[in-house]
Amino acid sequence: MAKDDRLPAKPSSAEITAFLDKVARAPVVKAAGSRGRLIFALDATASRQPAWDRATHIQVEMFQQTAALGGLEVQLCFYRGHGEFSFSPWYVRSNDLLRRMTSVFCLGGLTQIRKVLKHARKEAKKNKVHALVFVGDCVEEDVNQLCGLAGELGLLGVPAFIFHEGNDARAAAAFQQIACLTHGACCPFDANSPQQLKDLLSAVAVYAAGGRRALKAFSRDKIGPVRRLVHQIGDRN
């Protein structure tokens, strides 16, 4: 996408808490001791290099936090350039995913979120996918088509958890609709707060690997938005 000089909007505590609340309430069906399966999709167009670099360093946390829950299988997906879309094998070790991510550089082009959703649909039909994570800042496609695919993912039981960087209003509206239709959640994040992104990614990974109870346990020693989530769950129960 073209460079946007506007400063990214910082999410409020209420927005982050609401996102984590939706993560906690989403259903997970996973055999005991099996690995959670998570598709990790990123926009790798030109403006996304800083976000890509942050995600590369943070991804190891997802594996560490889920090791005791049976582990995690992660598949990396990204798009960039003129129609390029790529996906990796399913990784069970953070070093393998790190090696793949560090070999990729961002390249200018339009968004290809439709390909991400179609790929997730294809993978889910072959084997259970517990969550789709997408990190991006822009939507340059027909939103109705994206929503149609999102609805199919919802029927397949694949919640999409979307991390929205920036303040593009059209993208925000589209991401919210996709998240809603898949029974997932959308959350803006502060590009200048790696810890915030780490906590949110880890929360989704823990949810994919172990469900609500695992997410509660993960949250016990956390502060800020993750800790507030624990209290909300306790109040409901």
Q: Enter the tokens of residue 127.
A: 């084997």
Q: Is 8 inside a domain boundary?
A: no
Give me the domain span that covers residue 204.
35-232
Of 190, 210, 209, nearest to 200 by C-alpha is 190
Q: Is 6 inside a domain boundary?
A: no
- pTM for the model stands at 0.80
For residues 134 and 126, the answer to whether their CB atoms sit within 8 Å is no
Residue ranges in the chain modelled with pLDDT below 50: 1-8, 31-32, 225, 228-237
Give the model's pLDDT for residue 2.
43
Number of residues in the chain: 237
Give the model's pLDDT for residue 51.
83
Give the model's pLDDT for residue 3.
44
CATH number at residue 116: 3.40.50.410
Per the structure, how many domains does the chain have?
A: 1
Q: Is 109 inside a domain boundary?
A: yes
Give the model's pLDDT for residue 31.
47
Q: Is 2 inside a domain boundary?
A: no
For 23-36, the pLDDT digits (tens) are 656 555 554 457 88
Q: Is 200 inside a domain boundary?
A: yes
Q: Is 61 inside a domain boundary?
A: yes
Q: Is 95 inside a domain boundary?
A: yes
